[in-house]
Chain A
Amino acid sequence: MSATHATAKILRTELKVGLEIHIELATRSKMFTRAPNPAHPDFYDCAPNSLVDPVVMALPGSLPVMNLIAVEMSMQVGMALGCEIASFSKWDRKNYFYPDLPKAYQISQYDLPLCINGSVEIPVSAGGSRSIGIIRAHLEEDTGKLSHELPGGVAYAGSLVDLNRAGTPLLEVVTAPDFDCADDVVTFGQELRNICRFLGVTGGIMQRGHMRFEPNVNVLLTLEDGSVVKTPIVEIKNLNSFKAVKGAIEFETKRQVEEWRATGRVMGKGMKITRGWDDLKGQTFVQREKEDAHDYRYFPDPDLVPVVVDDAWRARVRATLPELPMARRARYREQFRLSEVDARVLTDDADFCAFYESCVAATTAKGCFKAITDAGYATGKMLLNAGSKRANERNCMVQELGIDANQVADVLALREDGTVGPQAADLLFGFLCDTKDNAATVAEQQGLVQVRDESALEAWCDQAIAANPQPAADVRAGKVAAIGRLVGAVMKLSAGKAEAQSVNDMLRKRLS
């Protein structure tokens, strides 16, 4: 085959990607000690080496003690990914020297991970959905960080070690090589992030490194003689944005084909290569040539006892699982009759979704809709229209606009009982983003309450007809569609306070 690599015609190129994802869990304390965890919101951006203790520093005589919360969070993720939770898992030491690894070993789970054999269904770009296999999810501790800059960005000639991150609980999820395009990897990554955010196990802030992706990529080439060659597997380290994930996989897909053309190198034992990603150049680069360069000398950590999980514990953790995004989407479609797209947007962010749920609850409690279906639908639409519009303007999330669930429910109630019209409801939503005042009061203050007073309506209608002679003539001539322009003009004149149906009726009467 190697004789032909330079010239062989490639009939088909098939990408194969498996994914390793490191998730920093947002426990208050670290994986094996009481020191605060920088992945918890209370301890973001702390001064270097301020989140340390004898265990983090690996001082002589210190011992690790397992963080039970981290284990339970990992069980939650495992369950959400459809994994079995192992009855017996244990802790192993992965030995290597590096200044960001204080003990010179990382405590991890080698051959007996906590979660095994799961799968996640994702919508794929080719259409439909596909099940992505989860081989395992195991718990370990993060390393510290090396830098060459002093705080404030001042360059420093040597290497500086910050051990704040050392010991942060890290859940490593490993998928089967079930992806065949970069977009699906990104979809999966977003879904996983979303699941973890719904579970509340991580901040999930990519820029903070709460989730780091390591795709294993190679390409299967079908040649004209029917043979299939596989390029060597490349592991791309530490991608912390979805843009990088997509870019790196797409770059590798091309590069590997070119490399095969040039060298004829194919997949084999010890051929796995580690590459990094240069975000600026949009290229991957070699980090380590051979996978067996390291011998980590794994062995069971004698300082820790194995994790033994019985059915009672499993059941206890399972009972704490919230409704996950996938299930919520289905419910929003079925129960609230929202579209697939609307349901997806409402479940894309855990905090937004929680806000939506609280708005639905408040709206339902007001009793202005006959059925919960209508309450769910109307609330969803209001947040997706009035809410999203303003969130875009203000560059924030809907739940951060300032309007609370009760105010949202009040706007809907006022609209339903006809106190305000649809346009005025939208304006009222906007005003309520900046005040804690009662919705009815604000509607009154801002003059948004619908006017049903005949004489006022007549005056606005006459004004509109006078100002728009052509549409008026059209309506008179039987072109009913032209009435829209006139209704619009009345709404403008009334600043949205006129009730649309009454205006319509009155215009027709006058132009008949």
Chain B
Amino acid sequence: MNTQAHTCTGLHEIAAQVRAGASTASSRVEACLARISDRGTALHAFNEVHADEARAAATRIDASIKRGENPGALAGVILAIKDNIATTQGHTTCSSRFLENYRSPFDASVIQRLQSQGAILIGKTNLDEFAMGSSTENSAFGATRNPWDQTRVPGGSSGGSAAAVSAGFCDAALGSDTGGSIRQPASLCGCVGFKPTYGRISRYGLVAFGSSLDQIGPFAKDVRGCAELFEAMAGRDTLDSTTVDLPVPDCCTQLDEPLRGLRIGVPREYRTDANAPSVARALDEAIAAYKSMGATIVDVELPLTDVGISTYYVIAPAEASSNLARFDGIRYGHRATLEAGEGLEDLYAKSRSQGFGPEVQRRIMLGTYVLSSGYYDAYYNRALQVRRRIREEFDHAFTKCDVLLGPTSPIPAFEIGGKKDPWAMYLCDVYTVNTNIAGIPGISLNTSYAQEGNSTLPIGMQLQGPAFSEALLLRAARMLERTMPPSYPA
């Protein structure tokens, strides 16, 4: 694989050049579209490319600059949007047959915020149906392929966004992360993926999967890009009651300044036999890199790491079973044709059976079961208790260290069709689900590569920090990024 070293200058720099006339939004859109037409079909990162809309938006931005106006800090920055985030531009399908023809009459709050700063949307990216999966194979419209090796998955569920960024189809992208759906594909595709603290970024317009876990976050080619998009999107939104009313931290000004006396916690539970040798080595390299920068490495324990998946697969499906009940075929989306003698119950059952794929149906059944009378205490209530314990465990760990370091995924990108057993697939998220369960921020960045046969596969490291510690977390990530600069497929 021919790769190209990436200079970590972020997105504001791109916008500065566009505003200064060194580049134009239109030429940037054309360059992206050319790259998409070159290799987009093979990768299937997009469900829909919005060439006309992107060109029109670019023309407006260039004209506004010509008039001497300032279209914003993201002027001419080209974004791809995960197709479970509502946009009035194009469709919002969640990669589901059920919403194949659905158009949202409103934009998600994050879309409004980004567009108001001059960002251009180039298209909607593929995902596991309703964000349920870790490989993007669960899309009703076909799997996305990894730009580093097209026989492999990009990770998921935000696989389309991760692939689009790594393949150079856009400057950055949005994803959503319920149990690792931003960080794991970022790791597998070799880009940077950031899940902020729960409540930092409005979920209004994000099609709900597990509402208490879901969080929108950015993908970018560098930590700075993620920091800039985070700042652009974060902050209280009156349309989402769960957003917190805290000032958005300045993450960018001091991003490049290394932290002194940084304490890096490495949980024992993150060094298991489940880690591929290449991943274990990458972790050692990252530890060594931090040591060389003067950080202290702290041994910490997170004994509940391995119950995270079980806890997650009670809470997330429970919420999903309720969140997805609105897809009943009555007001919008797929409506089954009824045979003579069939009634309302049949309409529900047939529309949903035809509209939802197998993984979505599995999780709806799981969630319905754990909430049903007689099982609620044994499953849902117990999962909530474990959730509190997991939070406390993180709180305790963060008394000993500033951030936690570990692999994002125990393995690099696997082959398409390589994980047939749902449980094996669920284990891909063993290091990422607890971040969502605790509601804390986590970031994945590429630090190393695995050589598997002829393939070079990126390996990502994950950093997690206490709630609302985004500024610190991003700075710690930037330190690691400087010692191990990223490169992308040429």
Contact = CB atoms under 8 A, between A and B. Distances in A.
Q: Do A and B bind each other?
A: yes
Interface of A: 54, 57-66, 93, 95, 97, 99, 102-105, 161, 295, 297, 299, 302-305
Contacts of B241: 63-66, 303-305
A65 B318 CA distance: 21
Interface stretch (B29-37, B368-376, B407-415, B465-473): B368-376
B104 A103 contact: no
Among B92, B105, B325, the one with the most A-chain Cβ atoms within 10 Å of its Cβ is B325
A59 B207 CA distance: 9
Given A60-B99, A65-B239, A103-B326, A299 B371 contact: yes
A87 B221 CA distance: 48
Contacts of A302: 210-212, 242, 319
A-B CB proximity, top 10 nearest: A104-B325, A302-B212, A297-B371, A302-B211, A61-B86, A61-B205, A60-B207, A58-B326, A295-B373, A103-B326
Contacts of A99: 328, 330, 344
B102 A60 contact: yes
Contacts of A105: 322, 325
A303 B211 contact: yes
B105 A54 contact: yes
A59 B205 CA distance: 9
B104 A59 contact: yes
Contacts, number: 98
Interface of B: 85-86, 92, 94, 99, 102, 104-106, 108, 203-208, 210-212, 238-242, 318-319, 321-322, 325-326, 328, 330-332, 344, 348, 368, 371-373, 376, 380
Given A95-B325, A104-B326, A61 B85 contact: yes
B418 to A, nearest CB: 31
A271 B96 CA distance: 43
Given A99-B330, A103-B326, 16 more contacts: A59-B104, A60-B86, A60-B102, A61-B85, A62-B205, A63-B208, A95-B371, A97-B325, A102-B330, A104-B325, A104-B328, A295-B372, A297-B371, A302-B211, A302-B319, A303-B208
A104 B325 CA distance: 5
A161 to B, nearest CB: 7
A63 B204 contact: yes
Nearest to B324: A104
A302 B373 CA distance: 19
Contacts of A161: 330-331
10 contacts: A58-B326, A61-B106, A62-B106, A65-B239, A104-B328, A105-B322, A295-B373, A297-B322, A297-B371, A302-B212
A59 B106 contact: yes
Contacts of A66: 241
| B contact face: mostly helix, strand, loop, or mixed | loop
A57 B328 CA distance: 12
B322 A63 contact: no
A62 B371 contact: no
A62 B239 CA distance: 9
B208 to A, nearest CB: 7
Nearest to A58: B326
A103 B331 CA distance: 10
Contacts of A57: 331-332
B241 to A, nearest CB: 5
A25 to B, nearest CB: 19
A297 B206 CA distance: 24
A61 B92 contact: yes
B42 to A, nearest CB: 29
Contact of B105 (A59, A64, A97, A102): A59
A95 B364 CA distance: 13
A305 B212 CA distance: 11
A299 B322 contact: yes
Contacts of B204: 61-63
A303 B199 CA distance: 11
Among B102, B203, B331, B332, the one with the most A-chain Cβ atoms within 10 Å of its Cβ is B331
B239 A63 contact: yes
A105 B211 CA distance: 14
A391 B418 CA distance: 83
B121 to A, nearest CB: 16
Nearest to B202: A63
Contacts of B108: 61
B326 A305 contact: no
Nearest to B212: A302
Contacts of A54: 105-106
Contact of A305 (B242, B322, B372): B242
A141 to B, nearest CB: 14
A265 to B, nearest CB: 24
Nearest to A100: B330
A58 B324 CA distance: 10
Among A58, A99, A299, the one with the most B-chain Cβ atoms within 10 Å of its Cβ is A299
B330 A297 contact: no
A99 B210 CA distance: 24
A246 to B, nearest CB: 34
B328 A61 contact: no
B86 to A, nearest CB: 4
B331 A299 contact: no
Contact of A297 (B211, B238, B373): B373
B331 A95 contact: no
Contacts of B344: 99
B330 to A, nearest CB: 5
A63 B238 CA distance: 10
A60 B373 contact: no
